[in-house]
Amino acid sequence: MPVSADFREGAALHSTTSAVDDLGERELILLADAVASVAPNWSVELCHVFSRGAHLVIMPEDANDVLGPTLIIRHASDAYYLDQFHWDRYKELGTFTDISKLVSAVRMRILT
Q: Answer whether residue 17 shows pLDDT above 50.
A: no
Q: Count how many domains the chain has.
A: 1
Rounded CA separation 86/84 (Å): 6
Compute, in degrees rounded to 10, the torsion defined by CA atoms 21, 85, 109, 19. Answer: 10
Question: Which residue type, as a one-letter code, is found at position 48?
Answer: H
Q: What is the mean pLDDT of the chain?
A: 84
What range does the domain containing 55 cover?
3-111
For residues 61 and 42, the answer to whether their CB atoms sit within 8 Å is yes
pLDDT of the residue at 2: 56
pLDDT tens digits for 3-15?
554 444 433 333 3
pLDDT tens digits for 71-95?
999 998 889 999 999 999 999 999 9
For residues 81 and 71, the answer to whether their CB atoms sit within 8 Å is no
